[in-house]
Amino acid sequence: MIPKKCDIVLPIYNRPNYVRECINSILQNSTNCSYNLYLVDDASDSYTHNFLEQFQLEYKKISLHQHSINLGFIRSCNFGAALGNSPYVLLINSD
């Protein structure tokens, strides 16, 4: 398996409309890139989590990780960055 060149970490706490736009933008503008997209659900409501699960099911590059309690943006970024092993990490906020 060829290692990915970049890990993209997207911490999420609700606001699925912004998240949808952000994920779609990443997917549309990175068609020739080698990356993993880590969605870090920071204890969002069930509607948002179910919405995120659909992205994970549809795209192999996306993996979803859920916190049982809200850890905040910085801890979610650190958690997501630790998931990958690529030489580069991109932290992105959906809003």
DSSP letter string over 66-77? E-SS---HHHHH
How far apart CA 64 and CA 11 sit, in angstroms, is 10
pLDDT digits (tens, 9 = 90+) for 61-81: 999 999 999 999 999 999 999
Mean predicted confidence (pLDDT) in 25-40: 91
**How far is C-alpha 15 from the chain's CA centre?**
14
Global pTM reads 0.91
Q: Say what percent of the chain tops pLDDT 70.
A: 96
Question: What is the structure's pLDDT at 2?
Answer: 57
